[in-house]
Structure 1
Amino acid sequence: MSGGFGEVFRALRVRDFRLFVLGQIVSVAGTWMMVVAQDWLVLGLTDGSASALGTVTALQFAPLLLLTLYGGRLADRYDKRALLTVANVASCALALMLAVLVLAGEVQLWHVYVFACALGVVNSVEVPARMAFVGELVGSELLPNASALSAAYFNVARVVGPALSGLFISVAGVGWVMLVNAASYAATVVALRLMRSSAGRARRRGDRVRVVDGLKAAARFDLVVPLVLVAVVGLFGLNFQLTLPLLAAQVHHAGASTFGVVTAVFAAGSLVAAMMTTVRRGRPSARLVAGAAVGFGALEAAVGLVSSYGPSMMLLFLTGGASIYFAQAANHRVQLGVPPELRGRVLALYTLILQGSTPLGALLVGSLADRWGVRWAFLAGGLMSLAAGLAAVAVERRDRPATAPAASVVREASGERARP
């Protein structure tokens, strides 16, 4: 790889990261096939209930509120590769059990609720371990590029997965999609076992790994502001697992195949933004994070104002790009602001805030969509995100001179001197 193309994909020079990416593309594509199939199953079981769909989303993310900080402690204490292997095997087993129920014609709504909650428990361990593992595979210098490439493959899978899922549902049914998802986890497990490096190894016996150290490290002003911004945007604006199927069903009156297209259009915008962020080499500024939230909020609100298919798809494409650009900027600002030995716990807090807000957000948005329609859900989420971004811009301008000494406490929790 050379020139600009090589710069975009420079983290892929690391052999084990290439293996990880290949496994994840297959596995995440299966996961997005499952998301579409699960949502379509719930809508079919409940005659299109937005509240039921919101409940499933809430149950899937609720365990993050209780267990993610502990999952981050596990990621900083134990072998991350082993944790990821166990998590993927457990996810495979859960998907397989639900697929059997669907294919046997015995599935009920409460089965989907149990599956969603159990998968949330697994994800509370898998997500912080995976995010910290990527940093160890490539090192701090390549971390922004690797993180952006991870977002890129995630969104490649989010484009391919829903499109395939819509086709599979139309031809074979929901149960077969779930079987494909169960099989897809094998790709990540095989990739993990083929790796050669010592990345992700457990800490030495006797090393203290406490959740509170991660909380102390994240208490700096330059980390608190983006984390609060992520909380507000995550709560009100990032509920697309719920709002996209409702937009397809309520506004565009879509079948399963068109539902997949709606999700794929949103993901395509996210993919473009993820590729744009691969050139980032350092920690993004607070102003960039706040500005990204403003842009995202304005675009999401615009989605709620249009009803025709063409303009709606264009705005969804742009909103998908804005959402991933904001999420990547916030992630890089937080992740590159702490030392590697605390990264698992701080990323667990980031995950807790970003995804842990989803249960409450899903219930609020589901209730709003049931009462007023999904377009009001987009409009309200966008306006709240816009307001939060503008508030962050104002705070950044007011307190910018006071943030300079913050670097002196970067390693407070680990007892080390801060980097300049």
Structure 2
Amino acid sequence: MLGKGAPRCHSGDVNLPADEPRSPLDIPDYRRFWLARFLSVFATTGMVVVLGYQLYDVARSQYGMSIGMAAFQLGVLGLAQFLPVLLLTPVAGLVADRFDRRLVAGLANGVDMLVALVLAAATMAGHLNLPLLFALGALHGTARVFIGPAMASIAPNIVPVRLMPRAIAINSMAWQAGSVGGPAIAGLLFAQVPALPYAISGLLLGIATLLVLRIRPLPPPAENKRAHPLSQIVGGLSFVWHDRFLFGCVTLDLFAVLLGGATALLPVYARDILMIGGHHVGANGLGIMRAAPGAGAVIVAVLLARKPIESGVGAKMLIAVAIYGGATIGFGLSRDYLLSLLMLASLGAADMVSVFIRNTLVQLHTPDAVRGRVSAISGLAISASNELGEMQSGVAAALLGATGAVVFGGVGAIIITVAWAVWFPELRLVRTFADKTLHQKEAT
């Protein structure tokens, strides 16, 4: 946080001293952080897409399940990845606040690397089965729950407050670029050599681990070492629960994306619904479909990195979530492959706006001493909206069919947005990021 005597940021940063960074990318530790984040996301998103396709294919071919029952297995996979997040989130947040965050992130990345290598070996040996895939999905979920709060808490420790909105936009570029390239390339590689995307994911996760460990040491705040662990866990939960702004941000993402997530059913659309040239789009089409939301998000992230949103941030966040729901409905109803890609890119672009605003407000609003625990709770909401959203989509697909499940979710996301605009006026009325920065100064 800038002190009273710190230089102020003016238009174009022209009044900053020559040695002050103009961009987060001017900071070597941030460049390591960004590259590690990109490689990790590239590796894991590609790995998870292939894992979902393999699980659905194994359920259909080896176990003889119907489309509906095989789709339900995708929901079970989402649940298997979410349960570690649900159970370990308080511990992960505590660990991120009590230990060097780069060491926590590095160790968790190493566990994810082992998951990728085991999947590569099992695929090469032809020993895939549903219990193994569920178990490795759960171990992946365990690794991600520790990576999330540790990585989210590193950037505010290495980037000045005045550069945080731009840093979060660039962070999102790493996430979305990885989300675009990872699934698309993994799908193409899987079609040629099924084990290859897993092997590459393992290599990239190893590099990401080394990059994180090269960031300068980040000792935790002294008060976090003195406090009792249980009181810290309770304190983190209480901080979010009693702060209506934070609580509204976290729960908006939880419920809107929980209902609006169409990505869980992409394997169904790729294998059995969408066609091109008289054939179902298959694994290659799945990779491109999975990358489409990230492609839309990358375009928006580049624009936000150049010119971050500065006014009306709360209202724009809510509008973006509503557009996300509308694009989800459009994807669910589409039977044209190119139109489906456009709808997926649109929902990714809208989600990027919402994520950028929400993450910036949460990071600037949260004191460093509780940042790991708040990030863990926020990560729980994101994971719940993704993994539990997959479970919800699988169950809904079994009851309503894939199209009915996706449309139902999109409508639900719009309803949630309207309800939160009424129930949490703090979200709708916040105008600038500076409004919440002032609250952080008071909290510290």
The normalised TM-score by structure 1 is 0.88
Aligned to 1:187: 207
Aligned to 1:150: 171
Aligned to 2:64: none
**C-alpha contact (below 8 Å) 2:85/2:142 kept by paired residues:** yes
Deviation at 1:207, TM superposition (A): 4.7
1:166-221 residue CA offsets vs partner (Å, 9 max, x unmatched): 22112112x222111111112212212333x34x3234342556022222322222
2:383 corresponds, among 355, 360, 364, to 355
1:273 corresponds, among 300, 304, 307, to 300
Stretch moving more, 33-42 or 352-361: 352-361
Deviation at 1:396, TM superposition (A): 4.9
Deviation at 1:409, TM superposition (A): 11
Q: How do 1:193-272 and structure 2 match up within 5 A?
A: 193-195=213-215, 197-198=216-217, 200-204=218-222, 205-207=225-227, 210-218=232-240, 219-238=242-261, 240=263, 242-252=264-274, 253-272=280-299
Mapped partners of 1:401, 1:302: distance in 2: 29
Mapped partners of 1:408, 1:40: distance in 2: 43
1:110–1:408 Cα change, 3 Å = closer
Mapped partners of 1:338, 1:382: distance in 2: 31
- Unpaired runs of 5+ residues, structure 1, are none
Mapped partners of 1:231, 1:159: distance in 2: 23
1:73–1:23 Cα change, 3 Å = same
Aligned to 2:8: none
2:54 corresponds, among 27, 41, 65, to 41
1:41-72 residue CA offsets vs partner (Å, 9 max, x unmatched): 11220115111111112211221111112211
1:333-360 residue CA offsets vs partner (Å, 9 max, x unmatched): 2222221221111111111122124443
Alignment of 1:177 with 2:232, yes or no, is no
Mapped partners of 2:362, 2:207: distance in 1: 30
Mapped partners of 1:338, 1:24: distance in 2: 22
Aligned to 2:392: 364
1:212–1:255 Cα change, 3 Å = same
1:323–1:245 Cα change, 3 Å = farther
Alignment of 1:115 with 2:136, yes or no, is yes
Q: Determine what percentage of the aligned residue pairs are the same residue.
A: 25
Aligned to 1:13: 26
Read off the aligned partner of 2:340 and give its amino acid letter: S
How many pairs align? 404
Read off the aligned partner of 2:261 and give its amino acid letter: L
Deviation at 1:383, TM superposition (A): 0.7
Deviation at 1:274, TM superposition (A): 2.1
Mapped partners of 1:140, 1:80: distance in 2: 19
Q: How do 1:367-386 and structure 2 match up within 5 A?
A: 367-386=395-414
Report the secondary structure of 1:297's partner residue.
helix
Mapped partners of 1:372, 1:392: distance in 2: 27
2:417 corresponds, among 381, 389, 400, to 389
1:292–1:119 Cα change, 3 Å = same
Report the secondary structure of 1:304's partner residue.
helix
**C-alpha contact (below 8 Å) 1:92/1:183 kept by paired residues:** yes
**C-alpha contact (below 8 Å) 2:312/2:430 kept by paired residues:** no
Aligned to 1:134: 155
**C-alpha contact (below 8 Å) 1:236/1:384 kept by paired residues:** yes
Read off the aligned partner of 1:232 and give its amino acid letter: F
2:84 corresponds, among 60, 63, 75, to 63
Mapped partners of 2:428, 2:187: distance in 1: 48
- Unpaired runs of 5+ residues, structure 2, are 1-10, 14-21, 61-66, 275-279
Mapped partners of 1:78, 1:390: distance in 2: 40
Mapped partners of 1:23, 1:407: distance in 2: 29
1:179–1:206 Cα change, 3 Å = same
1:8-35 residue CA offsets vs partner (Å, 9 max, x unmatched): x921111111112223322322212212
Aligned to 2:364: 336
Mapped partners of 2:437, 2:177: distance in 1: 39
1:340–1:127 Cα change, 3 Å = same
1:135–1:301 Cα change, 3 Å = same
Read off the aligned partner of 1:247 and give its amino acid letter: Y
Deviation at 1:399, TM superposition (A): 9.6
Deviation at 1:267, TM superposition (A): 1.5
Read off the aligned partner of 2:272 and give its amino acid letter: Q
The normalised TM-score by structure 2 is 0.84
Deviation at 1:102, TM superposition (A): 1.6
**C-alpha contact (below 8 Å) 2:92/2:376 kept by paired residues:** yes
Read off the aligned partner of 1:201 and give its amino acid letter: P
Read off the aligned partner of 1:202 and give its amino acid letter: P
Aligned to 1:320: 348
Stretch moving more, 217-226 or 338-347: 217-226
